[in-house]
A and B are shown apart, each in its own frame.
Chain A
Amino acid sequence: MPLISPLLSIRNLCADHRGTRVLHDINLDIQAGQSLGLIGESGSGKSLTALACVGLLPWEIAAVGSIRYRDIELMRLNEPGWRDVRGRKIGMVFQDPMTSLNPIMTLGTQILEILKPRNDDNRKQRRHRAALLLEEVGLPDPGEMLKRYPFELSGGQQQRAMIAMTLAAEPELLIADEPTTALDVTTQAQILRLLRDIQQRRQMAMLFISHDLDAVMAMSDRVAVMYKGRLVEQGLAREVLHAPRQPYTQALVAAHTALALAPISPIPGEEIALALDGVCVDYGRWHSKRALHDVSLRVRAGTTLGIAGESGSGKSTLAQAVMGLLAPSAGSIRVLGMDPRDKRTRQAFTRACQYVFQDTSGSLNPRRTLMQTLAEPLLTQGLPADPARCGAMLEEVGLEPALLQRFPHQISGGQRQRVVIARALAMQPRILVCDEPVSALDATVRNQILSLLTNLRDRHGLTLVFIGHDLNVMRSMADDILVMRKGSVLEHGSVKEIFSQPRHPYTRELLAASNLTETPDTTNSVAAHPHAPRARSQTDFSARGASPNQTPNNAFNPSSSNTVTPNSCALVSLLPASAPATT
């Protein structure tokens, strides 16, 4: 193993936030051309580590230690010094492309302002180079695309543009902080593949941050695991994730490979909790667009309905119609016999039916403490809202009562979602509509939340309407599943039916997308068809790495191929039995 001095080397990095230590003694090396995956649940300090590398830590967090980039000591840089490093040497791709791009600036302007200057290039050449970058990240019609604004692009396209912008300065190290978490499940795989391709083609170093084990496996040569501000384990990706040595990593891998929840089949009552008949929802007054086509269904009290589909499939619209937040343009909705839009029964309805929103930061009032937030539903019911009661509500969802005085921005995303659930439960509802409640959470936290929801359901006879795109989650929770696409119901049946005999091709596609770990035969089947349709997103993606005729650039540079094993087919290899021989 030749000893090359690392591109980026973090030594004894510690950080404090108002007296509490949030990073403990981080030591991390990134070699040139190598991809390092940083994994951990939210609040584990992985984003902080990344932000420290570009000097963008929030001001209230004080960091000490050493971060060296080649021979520059980053921790001692002043603001002008940082400017030479940011973008030009270390580029960063953030989680949410919608908010990370300037909304009123064209993509062209945003790329050109960071484009690395070359000798004797004029305006036209620079625009041409910007267009080439957009082409490299796979955006259609790059010349036209330069004049577009971010809001005219889909989420996946925005993230591609963001990547192109970061590449414009030709950094040697790319930090990707959960680059696909905010994206649709079907576009996630495409973006990941793009990032990995670019990283290998350009021989860039990459720090890839994620809570998603699959993604980290596919993206990294080495892996570092963080837990509560500490680096618990690091090593070659395959070694760490196949034979984890530390208990936390073992738990993480275990939580990932199989959801710990046993399917529960409660005895459903006869009462119909939810009855929809031919419900249609239109948006827009004049040129109305139908968002929901003729949906009819019955949910018995005490059972769980899972609604699956990609974004834009109308599942949130359906949920909002059930909650009475949208008026159906045709059909009828009855929730426990009540019309959600009826003003006379509105109060009784809100007690019976509560909603858990997808966007955790948007559904909590930023100017109210958790105490104030949780007191509200209690006061509406005429109950005293004392700290003890609110604290107990927090404990019920696995949070410490000490958090009561915090504001929403002072807790992590996972904690916020718990607060949202606690608030919904405070009304003691009979029906809980959860709109993608766990899609932003880590595997371990997700399981806790899911088991919490299941427990509550069984204890109180709750009826759950559970919206998500992860069919694995559905399988462990739901009794019935509704598969939606483009506003219509494609398939509706019991979990057993859907999983054993999916009738619709789209259902099979969704199943394939979420069953990354359960496709041991992909190496054989897809390697034989390297140009298999991309629709089977992630499975396809993993197999592509293994396919023999990939780009020749993928052969690593010789100097680093000794130290790192290219394990681009790692996705498939989570199950030891299915691990293909790559070396």
Chain B
Amino acid sequence: MNAFLSYGAQFGRQLISVAVIALSLFLLVRAAPGDITDYYAARGDYDATALAALRTDLGLDQSSIIQFQRWLTHAAQGDFGESMRYGSPVSSMLAEALPHTLRLAALSLAFGLALGIGLAILALACPRLRLHTLIEGLNIWSIAVPSFCLGVLGILIFSIWLKWLPIRGQMLLPVIILGLDVAGQIGKPLYEELKEMTRAGFVRTARAKGLSTWRITWRHILPNCLSHVIALSGVILGGLVGGALTMEALFAHPGLGGLTLEAIRSRDYPVIQIAVMVLAAFVVLVNLTAAALQRWADPRLTRRTA
């Protein structure tokens, strides 16, 4: 019962933070001078009276608070409005963009986790391979090398020179590039943690029990590092969803990043609002999931009794 309450409280806190993000976002995008009518004006399609009419039509002549109130009443009914630029409903635009982004983020994370965890374990199990230098290298790589440089390079090599892969819409290169980033961020701390763990008393006990190295690694050492990996993956995944923008742009995936960027450029308020809120909600969801997974991985976090 108590645990249930604390889950509820946590969820409530996260919901509130999404709401606060929504409000401040709403006010902030309107605080900057200019709106979508300026975008049309710049293209020269409208004169001043037509622009004013358009502004009234879109409700942009009202104060921000009234606009927010109006948006909120619609949003409460599940209507998130229409794009000011394309006129299509925001929800359908989102439904189109989101799967691309999620697929890219999920695949990159899976690849990166597999690579990072695999490397860390292998480096520990076979010190003679000197894999830890590779882990160090990958870590520095993930910090220092911007992914778009790699993307451009990859396109140049594999698509233009070798002609192995298409440029538009392919998943392989972006997943590998983002995955390497993830592996670099996961592998290094995990390797250090694993190394620390091998010196722990219970690992000595496990060895004194005559267990195989394989079993000691998989059943004793790794599970004790798992909550670390989960916490880290949560942060990384949150970043991936919003941060895969350059990959989406380079490889022509119409994802969330591209949608947001385009919307910001044309001051398409409803789209900005929803795109950023979805990002925020996603980060919140990832955090909650990570916290729940951590509890599963480490019973000490929940069962603090006796």
Contacts and interface: CB of A to CB of B under 8 A. Distances in A.
Interface residues of A, number: 32
Interface stretch (A149-157, A275-283, A325-333, A341-349): A149-157
Given A152-B306, A153-B306, A82 B204 contact: no
Given A103-B300, A149-B303, A54 B200 contact: no
Contact of B211 (A101, A103, A113, A151): A113
Interface stretch (A87-95, A213-221, A484-492): A87-95
Given A94-B204, A153-B306, A104 B210 contact: no
Contacts of B32: none
B201 A83 contact: no
Interface string B265-303: 000000000000000000000000000000001111001
A219 B211 CA distance: 29
A94 B220 CA distance: 17
B128 interface: no
Contact of A104 (B209, B211, B298, B305): B298
A83 B305 contact: no
Interface string A73-97: 0000001001111111001101010
A182 B244 CA distance: 52
A551 to B, nearest CB: 28
A336 interface: no
Nearest to A168: B209
Contacts of A148: 306
B209 A87 contact: yes
Interface string B145-175: 0000000000000000000000000000000
Interface in A128-169: 148-149, 151-153, 162, 165-166, 169
Contact of A100 (B205, B210, B224): B205
Contacts of A410: none
A153 B201 CA distance: 17
Contact of B205 (A85, A94, A149, A151): A94
B215 interface: yes
A114 B200 contact: no
Contact of B224 (A92, A103, A153): A103
B210 A84 contact: yes
A151 B300 contact: yes
B299 A83 contact: no
Interface string B200-223: 111011111111110100011001
Contacts of A54: 208
Contact of A113 (B207, B209, B223): B209
A94 B201 contact: yes
A237 B200 CA distance: 34
B202 A88 contact: no
Contacts of B219: 105, 113
B299 A104 contact: yes
Nearest to A148: B306
A88 B210 contact: yes
Contacts of B208: 54, 56, 86-87, 91-92, 94
Nearest to B200: A99
Contacts of B206: 102
Nearest to B221: A102
A79 B210 CA distance: 10
Given A104-B224, A104-B298, A114 B202 contact: no
A83 B204 contact: no
Given A56-B207, A169-B209, A102 B306 contact: no
B216 to A, nearest CB: 10
A158 to B, nearest CB: 11
B224 A87 contact: no
Contacts of A103: 202, 224, 300
A149 B303 CA distance: 9
B210 A83 contact: yes
Given A56-B204, A100-B202, A101-B205, A82 B303 contact: no
B303 A99 contact: no
A79 B300 CA distance: 33
A311 to B, nearest CB: 16
A100 B209 CA distance: 11
A114 B300 contact: no
Interface in A379-438: none
B273 to A, nearest CB: 38
A417 B223 CA distance: 34
Nearest to B220: A102
B300 A104 contact: yes
A49 to B, nearest CB: 15
A142 B207 CA distance: 25
Interface centre among B206, B208, B299 (most CB of A within 10 A): B208
Contacts of B210: 82-88, 114, 169
Interface centre among B209, B219, B224 (most CB of A within 10 A): B209
Nearest to B212: A83
B223 A104 contact: yes
A102 B211 CA distance: 14
Interface string A108-134: 000001100000000000000000000
A113 B303 CA distance: 23
Interface of B: 200-202, 204-213, 215, 219-220, 223-224, 297-300, 303, 305-306
Given A99-B200, A102-B224, A162-B205, 5 more contacts: A84-B210, A87-B208, A105-B219, A149-B299, A149-B303
Interface of A: 54, 56, 79, 82-88, 91-92, 94, 96, 99-105, 113-114, 148-149, 151-153, 162, 165-166, 169
9 contacts: A56-B208, A85-B210, A92-B208, A94-B201, A148-B306, A149-B303, A151-B300, A151-B303, A162-B205
